[in-house]
Amino acid sequence: MTDTITGLDLTKRLIAFDTINPPGDEAECFKYLASLLEPAGYELTWHDWRPNRPNLIARLPATEPEKRAPLVYSGHVDTVPLGQAKWSVDPFAGEIKDGRLYGRGTSDMKAGVAAFVVAALRLAEIEVRHAEIQLVITSGEETGCEGALALAASGLLSDCAALVIAEPTDNRALCGHKGALWMNLVHEGVTAHGSMPDKGRNAIFAAVESIERLRGHDFGIKPHQVMGGPTLNIGNMQAGLNVNSVPDLARVGVDIRSVVGQTNAEIRSDLQRVLGDQVRVEPLTDMDNVFTDFDDPWMSQVFATTKEILGTDPEVATATYFTDASVLKPAMGNPPTLIMGPGTMAMAHQTDEYCEVGLIDPCIDVFTRLGRDHVA
């Protein structure tokens, strides 16, 4: 099996599936991955959380008494829409130019999925295995980790020894990411004719007051040594129907990125206190931060492996985006978690998205070595 498919070939094949979310139709892509994994000896568990929107757990059993819990590789196959700008290449053709593979999802994150699937096929050829290897492949990540949340709620997940999330990092071994708390602040007023504003209560004025209260908000926490400090951004505002009426509704969109030492639940409670009970908070996305101490034994092993294979010195850093790890890590016993993939971080969600072809095979080698060491 590993002789007939390469990481580049598999990435190109995955790009050819239109898995843009929304609407999200990842089923055919999953069937193709299953057609590779099942003949190699992986036991498949399907989780259909919506029509044509599965999650897939693939398990390679141990052949000997288990020495440790499973090692899990995870990634999603859905992508964001193409955007308004015109692409200079076919976004589903997998065209290669100047060492770059172009297409929607190349970096985020079909190259990463291809990397751990090829590694998984190599690991299936090991005759003596003292631990299980698992792949957890999800749909619906791009719209708030919907697939992972449904999978976690299903009870199908179990504790694991370590978790690898193959999101784009340019093959940098990252030890976590900030959390994300997105919400609408809803302000209600009383409508009235624009010539008689004293007869109403202007919701925009209430929204502006909330914005001023949040300007320069102090979270009361010291910056984390790796992640830095939390951030708060006012991203949008929706209010009013016409200029000659007093608006009776105003929504303010808030994007908060949390760090170690905070939970989103605590942040939300604190903001409600600052804003007052007259402001209704509608959560949109709620993903806690993820971090593994860099002196964790498994993370030290990861750094040693990447240094040997990639020739890069360990760099303690975290991602700016959030991943399915926000859901999977607590659902699988809070194992040490690596964020690493061959995708180009800066190209995620971009027009003419690409990944560097030369990063795919080294990532496969790292993933394979981590798996070999784990099952030994």
231 is a domain residue: yes
- Both 209 and 258 in one domain: the answer is yes
Mapped onto helix, strand or coil, the DSSP state of residue 207 is: helix
Q: How far apart, in whole angstroms, are the C-alpha atoms of residue 158 and residue 20?
A: 29
Q: What is the pLDDT of residue 321?
A: 93
Residue 301 and residue 246 share a domain? no
* Interacting residues of 14 by C-beta distance below 8 A, sequence separation 6+: 29, 32, 33, 77, 105, 110, 113, 114
Whether residues 263 and 155 fall in one domain = no
> Do both 102 and 59 map to the same domain?
yes
Are 157 and 306 part of one and the same domain?
Answer: yes
Please state whether the predicted TM-score (pTM) of the whole model is above 0.85. yes
Look at residue 363 in the predicted model and tell me its pLDDT: 98
User: For 289-343, how does the pLDDT look when each residue is reduced to its tens digit (9 = 90+)?
Assistant: 999 999 999 999 999 999 999 999 988 999 989 999 999 999 999 999 999 999 9
Confidence of residue 372 (pLDDT cuts 50, 70, 90): very high
What SS3 state is found at 291?
Answer: strand
B/e letters for 22-57, b = 16+ CB within 10 Å, e = fewer, are eebbbbebbebbbebbeebbbeeeebebeeebbbbb
Residue 1 lies in a domain: no
Domain identity same for 309 and 165? yes
Percent of the chain with pLDDT over 90: 98
Output the CA torsion sign for 96, 27, 162, 39.
negative
69 and 210 co-located in one domain: no
Q: How confident is the model at residue 2 (pLDDT cuts 50, 70, 90)?
A: very low
In the three-class reduction of DSSP (H, G, I as helix; E, B as strand; rest coil), residue 237 is classed as strand
Give 7-24 pLDDT, tens digit per residue: 999 999 999 999 999 999
Residue-level pLDDT at 4: 76
Which domain does 245 fall in, by range?
179-287
Structure tokens belonging to residue 366: 């790292």
Tokens for 61? 């059993």
For the chain, how many structural domains are there in total? 2
Residue 293 inside a domain? The answer is yes
Question: Residue 235 is inside which H or E element, if any?
Answer: strand 231-239
Would you say 254 and 183 are in contact if contact means Cβ atoms under 8 Å apart? Answer: yes
Residues whose CB falls within 8 Å of the CB of residue 327, separated by 6 or more in sequence, listed in order: 145, 148, 149, 151, 152, 287
Q: Is the pLDDT of residue 1 over 50?
A: no
The overall average pLDDT reported for the chain is 96
97 occurs within a structural domain: yes
| Residue that is last in its domain, among 269, 287, 305 | 287
121 with 237, same domain: the answer is no
What CATH number is given to the structural domain containing 267?
Answer: 3.30.70.360
Tell me the one-letter amino acid at 264. N
Residues 122 and 19 in one domain: yes
Of 260, 287, 314, the last residue of a domain is 287
Question: Angle at CA 218, nearest 5°, toward 213 and 221?
Answer: 155
In a domain, 2, yes or no: no
Alpha helix segments (H runs only) across 6-110: 7-15, 27-37
Pairing of strands 162-165, 337-339: parallel
Alpha helices in 315-355 (DSSP H): 325-331
Give the torsion through C-alpha atoms of 193, 195, 197, 198, to 10 deg. -110
**Section 44-68 average pLDDT:** 97
Give the residue from 248, 263, 287 where a domain finishes.
287
pLDDT band at 3 (very low <50, low <70, confident <90, very high): low
Q: Given this model, what pLDDT does residue 314 score?
A: 86
Query: Is 273 in contact with 220 (CB distance < 8 Å)?
Result: no
Mark whether 261 and 129 lie in a shared domain.
no
Same-domain check for residues 199 and 160? no
Together in a domain, 168 and 310: yes
Task: Return the CATH number at 90.
Answer: 3.40.630.10
Task: Judge whether 353 and 106 are in contact, CB under 8 Å.
Answer: yes
| Helix locations, 190-296, DSSP H | 203-214, 264-275
| Residues 200, 189 contacting (CB under 8 angstroms) | yes
CA 343 centroid distance within chain: 13
267-294 pLDDT per residue, tens: 999 999 999 999 999 999 999 999 999 9
Q: State how far the Cα of 141 lies from the Cα of 53, in Å rounded to an integer.
A: 11
User: Would you say 20 and 78 are in contact if contact means Cβ atoms under 8 Å apart?
Assistant: yes
